[in-house]
Amino acid sequence: MSATIATAVKTLNIDGIEVPINGERNLLELIRKADIDLPTFCYHSDLSVYGACRLCLVDIAGRGIQGACSTPPEPGLKVRTQTEEIREIRKISVELLLANHERECTTCGKSAACQLQDVARKLGINKVRFQPVHKPKPVDRSSLSLTRDPNKCVLCGDCVRFCSEIQGIGAIDFAFRGHDAAVLPAFGKDLGEGECINCGQCAAVCPTGALTPRQEIDEVWKVLGDPTKTVVVQIAPAVRVAIGELFGMPPGESTRGQMVAALKRLGFKYVYDTAFSADLTVIEEANEFLGRKTNGGKLPLFTSCCPGWVKFAEQYFPELLPNLSTCKSPQQMLGALVKELLPAELGVEKKNLVMVSIMPCTAKKFEAKRPEFAKDGVAEVDHVLTTQELARMIEEAGLRFTKLQPESFDMPMGFKTGAGVIFGNSGGVSEAVLRYAAEKVTGKKLVNPDFHAVRGEDGLRIVEVPVGDIVLKLGIVHGLKNARMLAEKARRGKCDLDIIEVMACPGGCIGGAGQPVSRERDIRKLRTRGLYDVDKNMELHKSQENHFVTECYQRHLGEIGGKNAHRLLHTHYHNRRRIAGETIELGDSPEAEKVKVNVCTGTNCFVKGSQHILHALLDQVEKEELQDKVSINASFCFEKCDHGPTVSVDGNKIQWCTAPAAKAEILQKMKEKNQ
């Protein structure tokens, strides 16, 4: 019996060790299972195999040198990961990268976390034998969320594949060939001018400092040192189960007390918890949903607390903006409350009250700068720091994080329930809303507040949850490519869901791009479990049990969903231009007497058929030999995405345009020019 079982086990030999094959996708996974850290830049377990860096080379008996990431495992293979030839190839590959790399490592934002630096050290490279041939390129600081330094790019393609495969956007891609190859936004634009939704996941997977979260540390130090400023801070739930990793603590361990202590030592006057306003969000959003469900309002209701998703919807699905919850995100709700209430309580001018957020997310930096979230020139949130930036400030201050005596959040906006805390997980918003809605609908107290059905790791989950006499159908997605699938169904009226929770980042906020960078697959699981453990260790688990929130309504907000609550806690969103307005001329340069036709080929109009209109008009011009009378151009963008396709004929914009309508307008303009 035992001999039969032993024979059935499929193995291969790696450096003299028999390693069992158990569903691994490639040799690289098996090699790592054998506790061999084979170097690589371009391999990421969540992405497709690219095989560009050529660092994970192995010598397979009878086959020669091959890439481990792109070679499937087969029983009986004999693999060597270390030979003199392989080591030399790896060294040459890394030296060539270093020769054309900006090597100001001590001032790089990725210093000490740079994979290129780490691999060079492990390979024993102490001299670069090749001369640089590249010319320095300007650093792109156009984005409010990210910094792009093309001088540090190693062309691994991780950012390109994540943006395309996980987010379904393609805001950056490869351009040119050979020596001139580069990773660029569309049409050579800066990152802040294109379709980037600021999620920052490109920076999270970037192995070097080519893409990093935009830093606001200096601005925060400045206001902390200004005696005329009163600086308060809020901390998002996901930060507490991740920041400890940067100080050698286990992933998922809550460091709430040490964080508060560190922030007070840094000089913040009050330290609040974003989970407090997450409780507020639950109450406002749940009542908004119940109102729509009861009164026949727009459904499905999409959540709106993820700014990356909101910008994605503005760019690609403007027709669905009425389906988005009007609730602000918890960050902006707390910012609005602080700027409304604290000036009078503290006796300071609103312009001298500074609100800083500590977030796991780079898109929050963009959100804080949206004009909707400022009143009379005063922003609700002035500065947003990522988890990484807070850790750096703590280090700059010389604080020994793990040795700090825990301190408590300041009241009342430091108080929260477990519902507010689990907001940081994918499915957490849905569960928090269900904990409220179940009691609201049935009038009965929930004995067990857990809704395990909405939890999970899959990027797209559809669940049905009975609540009283009704069954609620919910969609929970993370990763915007998954969100696009449900949004497309909703746009076509084919979606029968009640609520759709969308988070741009894998796993939700716990996987935000501002969190500590790790390529370990289990890190997100540990952070997720950490937040659920925090919830379990709290006495209160439902937002309606937060008595400080109840008091806030009684003293300041009035009725739930009422006029004052809407003024402070709700907002609306709008169509958003994706590519700064330009045209691509298709043919000879237009002359003054020509009829000038611009066909919008922005994403929304494109998927609605503008490319067919464009081809039809080009064919007509060529067939009737009208090149000297008509100029056809591809254009970006008329900002009429919900009325597309849009075509402009001599400045007259035709919405919901068809090829016959465009042709008729062109003929009319030609007649007018000939009169």
- pLDDT, tens digit, 9 for 90 and up, residues 411-444: 999 999 999 999 999 999 999 999 999 999 999 9
Residues designated as active site: 285, 288, 305, 325, 364, 367, 372, 509
The rounded distance, in Å, linking the Cα atoms of 331 and 540 is 21
DSSP-assigned letter for residue 140: B
207 with 222, same domain?
A: no
pLDDT score for 619:
83
pLDDT per position as a tens digit, 504-547: 999 999 999 999 988 777 899 999 999 999 999 999 999 999 99
Note whether 169 and 193 are same-domain residues.
Answer: yes
Split at pLDDT 50, 70, 90, the class of 639 is low
Q: Where does a domain end: 82, 114, 146? A: 82
Please state, in angstroms and rounded to a whole number, the distance separating the CA atoms of residues 652 and 660.
Answer: 15
Evaluate if residue 567 carries a pLDDT over 80.
yes
**Is there a single domain that holds both residue 355 and residue 464?**
yes
For residue 589, name the pLDDT band (cuts at 50, 70, 90): very low
Tell me what pLDDT residue 5 has. Answer: 46
The whole-number pLDDT of residue 643 equals 80
What's the pLDDT at 434?
96
pLDDT value at position 524?
A: 93
Condensed to tens digits (0 to 9), the pLDDT of residues 62-78 reads 999 999 999 999 999 99
CATH at 354: 3.40.950.10
Domain boundary among 82, 117, 151: 82
CB atoms within 10 A of CB 628: 11
- What mean pLDDT is reported for the chain? 90
Tell me what the mean pLDDT of segment 314-336 comes to: 95
User: Which residues, including other chains, have CB under 8 Å from residue 1's CB and lie 6 or more apart?
Assistant: none
Q: Are 468 and 441 in contact (CB under 8 A)?
A: yes
Contact 367, 329 (CB under 8 A): yes
Residues 6+ apart with CB under 8 A from 90: 39, 55, 57, 123
| Cα atoms in the 13 Å half-sphere on the side-chain side of 671 | 6
Q: Which of 541, 569, 597 is the last residue of a domain?
A: 569
In this structure, are 370 and 441 located in the same domain?
yes
CB atoms within 10 A of CB 457: 13
Residue 95 lies in a domain: no
- 167: domain CATH number is 3.30.70.20
Tell me the helix, strand and coil percentages in the chain, rounded to 5: 45, 15, 40
Nearest to 538 by CA among 405, 432, 430: 432
Computed on alpha carbons and rounded to an integer, the radius of gyration of the chain in Å comes to 28
Neighbours of 186 (CB within 10 A): 17
The mean pLDDT of 608-615, rounded to a whole number, is 86
- Note the pLDDT of residue 580: 46
Token couple for 563: 């006029």
Q: Which two tokens stand for residue 97?
A: 């990268």
pLDDT tens digits along 375-389? 888 999 999 999 999
Asked if pLDDT for residue 590 goes beyond 50, the answer is: no
Q: List Cα–Cα distances, 311 to 320, 364, 469, 622, 659, in angstroms.
A: 12, 11, 36, 39, 30
Q: How far apart are CA 431 and CA 480, in angstroms?
A: 20
Answer yes or no: is 576 within a domain: no
Least confident window among 98-107, 200-209, 228-237, 567-576: 98-107
Give the residue, 7 or 447, on which the prediction is more confident.
447
How many structural domains compose the chain? 4
Mark whether 254 and 300 lie in a shared domain: yes
The residue among 622 and 33 whose pLDDT is bigger is: 33
SS3 of residue 251 by DSSP: coil
Question: Does the structure show a pLDDT above 70 at 305?
Answer: yes
Which residues are registered as beta bridge partners of 374?
Answer: 379
Flag whether 122 is in a domain. yes
3-class SS of residue 252: coil
Average pLDDT score over residue span 485-513: 95
User: Is 151 in the same domain as 175?
Assistant: yes
Per-residue pLDDT at 602 exceeds 80: no
With respect to residue 458, please indicate whether it lies within any of the assigned structural domains: yes
Q: Dump pLDDT digits (tens) for 273-283.
A: 999 999 999 99
Residue 7 has pLDDT above 60, yes or no: no
Residue 141 neighbours by CB under 8 Å, 6+ apart = 147, 214
Residue 518 covered by a domain: yes
Claim to verify: residue 369 and residue 306 sit in the same structural domain: yes
Say how far apart CA 476 and CA 462 lie, in whole Å: 6
pLDDT at 37 over 50: yes
Whether residue 135 is found in the same domain as residue 50: no
Helix H or strand E encompassing 266? helix 256-266
Q: What CATH number has the domain bearing residue 629?
A: 3.40.30.10
> What is the reported pLDDT for 186?
84
pLDDT of residue 2: 47
CB neighbours of 448 closer than 8 A, spacing ≥ 6? none
How crowded is residue 544: how many other Cβ atoms within 10 Å of its Cβ?
A: 18
Same domain (yes/no): 588, 558: no
Predicted confidence band of residue 43 (pLDDT cuts 50, 70, 90): confident
Q: How confident is the model at residue 103 (pLDDT cuts 50, 70, 90)?
A: confident
Residue type, 395: E
Mean pLDDT, residues 464-482 taken together: 94
Q: Is the pLDDT of residue 640 over 70?
A: no
At residue 398, the pLDDT reads: 96
Average pLDDT of the residues in 546-569: 95
For residue 529, tell me if it sits in a domain: yes
Is 311 in contact with 576 (CB distance < 8 Å)? Answer: yes
Note whether 649 and 542 are same-domain residues. no
Whether omega for the bond prior to residue 251 falls within 30 degrees of 0, making it cis, is: no
Kindly state whether residue 577 falls inside one of the protein's structural domains. Answer: no
- Cα-based angle 109, 210, 307 (whole degrees, multiple of 5): 85
The CA distance from 280 to 432, in Å, is 11
Over residues 200-213, mean pLDDT: 94
Does the residue 456 lie in any domain? yes
SS3 524: helix
d(CA 674, CA 313): 44
Q: Would you say residue 603 has pLDDT above 80?
A: no
| Type and span of the H or E element at 79 | strand 78-80
Share of residues in the chain with pLDDT > 90 (%): 69
Residue-level pLDDT at 47: 84
In this predicted structure, what is the pLDDT of residue 311? 96
Residue 26 is given by DSSP the state S
User: What is each CA distance from 673 to 624, 625, 661, 666, in whole angstroms?
Assistant: 18, 17, 19, 11
| Residue the block writes with tokens 């809605």 | 437
Q: Where are the alpha helices (DSSP H) in 81-172?
A: 84-99, 115-122, 158-161
486: amino acid identity, one letter: L
Please give the pLDDT value at position 675.
67
For 537-577, give the DSSP string. Answer: TSS--SGGG-HHHHHHIIIII-STTSHHHHHHHB-------
Residue 55 and residue 117 in one domain: no
Per-residue DSSP letter, 47: S
The secondary structure of residue 444, as a DSSP letter, is S
The amino acid that residue 85 corresponds to is: E
The separation between CA 307 and the C-alpha centre of its own chain, rounded to angstroms, equals 8
Helix (H, G, I), strand (E, B) or coil at 18: strand
Same domain, 645 and 522: no
The values of phi and psi at residue 78, to 5°, are -115, 115
What local confidence, expressed as pLDDT, does residue 586 receive? 53
Sign of the Cα torsion 191, 192, 193, 199 reads positive
CA–CA dist 94, 600 (Å, integer): 44
At residue 4 the predicted structure's pLDDT band, cuts being 50, 70 and 90, is: very low
Query: Beta strand 595-600 with 647-649: parallel, antiparallel or unpaired?
Result: antiparallel
Q: Cβ distance 272 to 413 under 8 Å?
A: yes
pLDDT at 591 over 70: no
Report the distance separating Cα 573 and Cα 216, nearest Å: 26
Distance CA 533, CA 536 (A): 5
Length of the chain, in residues: 675
**What residue numbers bound the domain in which 22 lies?**
2-82
How far are the Cα atoms of 113, 375, 398 from residue 576, in angstroms, in the given order?
Answer: 35, 21, 43
Task: Specify the residue for token string 């930036």.
Answer: 389
**CATH number of the domain encompassing residue 73:** 3.10.20.740
